Amino acid sequence: MSTPSAITRFRLDDFRRAMAAGEKLAMLTCYDYTTATLLEASGVKLMLVGDSAANVILGHDTTLPIPLDFLIELTAAVRRGAPSAFVMADMPFGTTSSVSAGTRNVVRMVQRSGCDAVKIECSRGHIRLIQNLADQGIAVFAHLGLTPQSVQRTGYKAQGRSAHDALMIADLAGDLINAGASGILLEAVPPEIARLITDRLDVPVIGCGAGKYCHAHVVVLHDLLGLTPRSPRFAPRIGDAGLSTRRAVARYIDDIAKGRYPKPAQGFSLSAEERAILKEELKHWAGDRD
């Protein structure tokens, strides 16, 4: 008996080879099984199950409220929907605040979701955690620049816009890579920072509004498809799924109101024999009610 062929998964080594070959890769956020199947079928090799789900899925103003267990379930769903993609899971606010808690929570995420890597919004205080995770063989991408989990301290604004701050970000990136991080994600920083980091460090660098020098670029899928009322300047609005969804729903409402739905072919029927039996049963039923 033949057995199914093994799924060829796009792994970190494949990402590194693409980087070395000068290939630019697309990454998108994804939060559910169905969308993951569509993205994989479209050729997306890199998917991020971001804590931005707090905004676009749960309706929060910030990413801070989203719980770890919820992101684990979303990541596991994306993993099932996109078995060949490189799936990166975000670590929510507060889950990496210490080496012990961070290690425990990251291991839990990897074991329960099947993700290929985790993303951590990093400061210099995360260096020991990164070392510990690297010792256990876990791929970590350090998120630098605009870090939404720090919104209460920094606000939502671009980072690294002075020479001093640019060098601080680049230095921290180097220290995190030396500690064992597998890659860097840069959000909302000038392109000079990405160029400095890509020139100095031989690791994949993912940009989120960080200019053309990054090896891959990620945006929130809902921004790309026009499903959000407003989006960051770096997120292209390539589609208008919001408009097409509203039109489809409006047609459904109208079809029901005007009797065009449901049609007989869209339902189920009894056989002639069962209709005859039901007719007789209804006579007795009507008699019993009298």
CA 149, 152, 154, 155 torsion-angle sign: positive
Average pLDDT over residues 41-54: 98
Average pLDDT over residues 25-53: 98
pLDDT band at 155 (very low <50, low <70, confident <90, very high): confident
Higher pLDDT, 287 or 62: 62
Average pLDDT over residues 280-285: 86
Give the Cα separation of 86 and 27 in Å (integer): 9
pLDDT at 74 exceeding the cut of 90: yes
The count of residues in the chain is 290
pLDDT at 1 (0 to 100):
47
The average confidence (pLDDT) of the chain is 95
Q: Tell me the backbone φ, ψ of residue 219, rounded to 5 degrees.
A: -135, 165
How far lies 66's CA from each of 89, 112, 220, 246, in Å? 13, 17, 16, 28
Give the Cα separation of 177 and 18 in Å (integer): 19
Give the Cα separation of 119 and 106 in Å (integer): 10
pLDDT at 151 (0 to 100):
87
Is residue 100 within 8 Å of 186, Cβ to Cβ?
Answer: no
Spell out the residues 6+ positions from residue 7 whose beta carbon is closer than 8 angstroms to its own: 83, 84
**Domain ranges within the chain, ordered by starting residue:** 12-219, 245-289
pLDDT at 91 exceeding the cut of 50: yes
- Classify 12-219 by CATH class: alpha beta
Average pLDDT over residues 121-145: 98
Query: Among all residues, which ones are annotated catalytic?
Result: 187
pLDDT at 283 (0 to 100):
86
Average pLDDT over residues 265-280: 94
pLDDT at 72 exceeding the cut of 70: yes
- Going by C-alpha positions, the residue among 89, 94, 63, 92 that lies closest to residue 76 is 89
Average pLDDT over residues 263-270: 93
pTM of the predicted model, to two decimals?
0.93
pLDDT at 290 exceeding the cut of 80: no
